[in-house]
Amino acid sequence: MKVSKEQAAQNRARLIETAARLMRERGIDGVGVAEIGKAAGLTHGALYAHFPSKEALAAEALAFGLERGHIRLTTPRDGRLPGLGELLDGYLSEEKRNDVAEGCAMAASVSDIGRQDVSVSEPFATGLEQMADVFRSKLDSALPEATRRERALTMAVALIGAISASRAVMKAQPALADEILHAVRHTIDTIAAQPDGHDVNGERDRQ
């Protein structure tokens, strides 16, 4: 039976959302297209009618997850944009760390991306740039642009790494898992608060 354009669009969106969730939970290489199709309530053939390969689906699923994350970072709360502290507290919370399926797509997939092709790496790189740009916008505007960019990238990478490492040790050493989150939160505060022209060691920043 022929599927209408509207239904086809709904099926495609469902496949992307389902793939994004399963790939966050199990990794890109940890879930197959047949399983994704079944979880979305569609056949294996229906999936390939929308995506020529698993890599193509993974790229769109990752982009979908990253866009959701970007919206969370940039959506006003109580009529105002969230401050840097609010963003950091939300990202590094134990609740977000424990919720892999609904958490940050970059933290969930960072160990997988290097094994994928450029079609999957590209949305990850875009998402990282967007995340860093949000943090850059929260830093003191009196800082040189190069300094703001450097610190924002450091923050973004530190956050992703903190969640990934905390999850990695959670089962074996839950106290260490929590300590990682608190340590990175404290260190980012230190980085963000450094005055113009000096790094955390008191040396001149390179302009």
Q: Indicate the helix (H) or strand (E) that contains 10.
A: helix 5-26
Q: For residue 77, give the DSSP letter.
A: B
pLDDT score for 1: 54
SS (H, E, C) the chain: CCCCHHHHHHHHHHHHHHHHHHHHHHCHHHCCHHHHHHHCCCCHHHHHHHCCCHHHHHHHHHHHHHHHHHHHHHCCECCECCCHHHHHHHHCCHHHHHCCCCCCHHHHHHHHHCCCCHHHHHHHHHHHHHHHHHHHHHCCCCCCHHHHHHHHHHHHHHHHHHHHHHHHHCCCCHHHHHHHHHHHHHHHHHHHHCCCCECCCCCECCC
Tens of pLDDT along 55-79?
Answer: 999 999 999 999 999 998 999 988 8
Q: Which is it for the CA torsion 158, 163, 167, 172, positive or negative?
A: positive
Does domain 59-193 fall under CATH 1.10.357.10? My reply is yes
pLDDT value at position 198? 47
CA distance 162 to 151: 16
Low-confidence spans in the chain with pLDDT less than 70: 1-3, 196-207
Task: Indicate the domain borders of the chain.
Answer: 59-193
Give strand pairing partners of 80: 77
* Cα gap 115→129, rounded to integer Å: 20
pLDDT at 201 (0 to 100): 43
